[in-house]
Amino acid sequence: MSERDHRVSRRQFLTYTLTGVGGFMAAGMLMPMARFALDPALKAGAETDMKYVCDVADLTEVPQKFQFTFEQVDVWYESEVTNEAYIYIRDDQVMALSPKCTHLGCTVAYGTNEEHPERFFCPCHFGMFDENGINIPGTPPQRPLDVYDVVVEDGKVYVGQINQRT
């Protein structure tokens, strides 16, 4: 090959240079935008964190309602959320039930129905659940109360994700 074949014309030189500089500048602008858009969604674990609720010493075999507050990160929006759980000891295990009725979402209460003091009672449509949170046949709810994941560590009770039972 002769030296003439390797020569780059002025037009080619400008095309290569401008393409390179333009690409570099575009990448510099797009990378921060892409990171801003994707980073919160890619952060793992925020919704699976365990939250401290109470001490094991506070618990009995009778379900008691506890409130707990935590920071919720909803992609770009952070807020403080208060949740509730009925927590008690059953067969030497700590149980944590959601108080949200599985019929239409009203809040159930334990022991408030005089005729059935050992049940969870929903005042909206008279739904009932036994003391394990199992729906009573013949009442509107068609499935048991949801359960929280529970971890007991150093005498402290932590709850996590809510799970649906069938």
Residues in contact with ligand FES by CB under 6 A are 101, 103-106, 122, 124-125, 127, 140-141
Minimal CB distance to ligand FES: which residue?
127
Minimum Å gap between C-beta 142 and ligand FES is: 10
Nearer to ligand FES, 128 or 159 (CB): 128
Minimum Å gap between C-beta 124 and ligand FES is: 4
Minimum Å gap between C-beta 100 and ligand FES is: 9
Nearer to ligand FES, 90 or 125 (CB): 125
| Residue 91 backbone zone (phi > 0: left; psi -120 to 50: alpha; other: beta) | left
Q: Which of 56, 128, 132, 51 has the alpha carbon at shortest distance from 91?
A: 132
Distance CA 105, CA 147 (A): 15
